[in-house]
Every structure is written in structure tokens, then in C-alpha cells.
């Protein structure tokens, strides 16, 4: 990759309706559900924009380990515009997702939303980082 835009797990955010507890630890963030009736939800990362010379998105990487949890969806936004979505992924640990469509950065802010599914209230996911590979 010519440029990698990355965010550390310390920058993870969640929506109130997700009902997750985020515990930031040395080198990662642990995410657990807080309501046994709500075992799905979304976490969000903001990422730096690539230089003008490397605008074409090629990969999305999520570095994590889990105990009874999976990454199910990826939604990528440039400002308010969704530019990429994939669902039913079912990843249980670190993965790199190739982008097989043309996604060109438009100079706007970048947000990556990650949909999570937990098997139970005792499940958890330890996220280290997320990154986007541009060429």
C-alpha cells in the first residue's frame, strides 16, 4: 500500500443505543455488551485522510481477538456519504478485507463503522486497531 490510514483502539466510539461498555487497556480496548437483550451494535472510528496522491481505497483491516463475538458489517463514510458497505462477514479475529469496487477518497473526513454481534452478555472483543490501505 502506498498509504495506510490507521486508528488506535483508544479512539473507538459507540452509539448510546448499542449498550456496550468500552474498557481502554494497555494497547487495546475491550468491548462488552451491558444488556443481555441487546447483543448487537456498532462501534465507530475516525481516521486521517490520505494524501492527494493516494486516493484509491484498496483494503480495510480490523485487528482484534474475540471471545464469543464477531465483526458482522463494515460501513465506510466520507463525511455523510456512505461509500462502501459489506455485511454478513462473521469474522472472529483479525482480517483484511479487500475492496473490489472503485472507492476514491473525496477529501472529506473518514469514519468506519463496524457492526458487532455478541453470543451472550459474557462475550467480548479486544480491538487493537483499524486501518485503510490506499494506493
User: What is the tens place of the pLDDT at every residue in 1-39?
Assistant: 589 999 999 899 998 778 899 999 989 999 999 999 999
Q: Read off the CATH number of the domain in which 27 is found.
A: 2.60.120.260
Statement: residue 62 has pLDDT above 80: yes
pLDDT score of 107 more than 70: yes
- Pairing verdict, β 20-25 and 28-33: antiparallel
Residue 124 has pLDDT above 80, yes or no: yes
Q: What pLDDT, on the 0 to 100 scale, is given for residue 52?
A: 84
Number of structural domains (the chain) is 1
**Please, which residues have CB within 8 angstroms of residue 71's CB and are 6 or more apart in sequence?**
62, 64, 89, 90, 91, 92, 95, 114, 115, 116, 125
Expressed as residue numbers, the domain containing 114 is: 3-134
Amino acid at each position: 500500500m502506498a498509504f495506510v490510514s490507521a486508528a488506535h483502539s483508544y479512539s473507538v466510539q459507540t452509539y448510546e443505543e448499542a449498550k456496550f461498555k468500552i474498557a481502554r487497556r494497555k494497547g487495546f480496548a475491550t468491548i462488552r455488551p451491558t444488556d443481555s437483550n441487546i447483543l448487537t451494535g456498532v462501534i465507530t472510528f475516525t481516521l486521517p485522510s490520505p494524501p492527494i496522491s493516494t486516493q484509491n481505497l484498496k483494503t480495510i483491516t480490523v485487528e482484534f481477538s474475540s471471545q464469543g463475538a464477531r465483526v458482522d458489517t463494515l460501513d465506510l463514510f466520507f463525511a455523510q456519504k456512505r461509500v462502501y458497505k459489506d455485511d454478513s462477514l462473521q469474522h472472529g479475529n483479525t482480517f483484511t478485507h479487500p475492496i473490489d469496487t472503485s472507492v476514491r477518497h473525496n477529501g472529506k473526513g473518514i469514519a468506519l463503522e463496524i457492526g458487532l454481534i455478541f453470543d451472550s452478555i459474557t462475550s467480548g472483543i479486544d480491538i487493537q486497531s483499524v486501518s485503510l490501505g490506499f494506493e
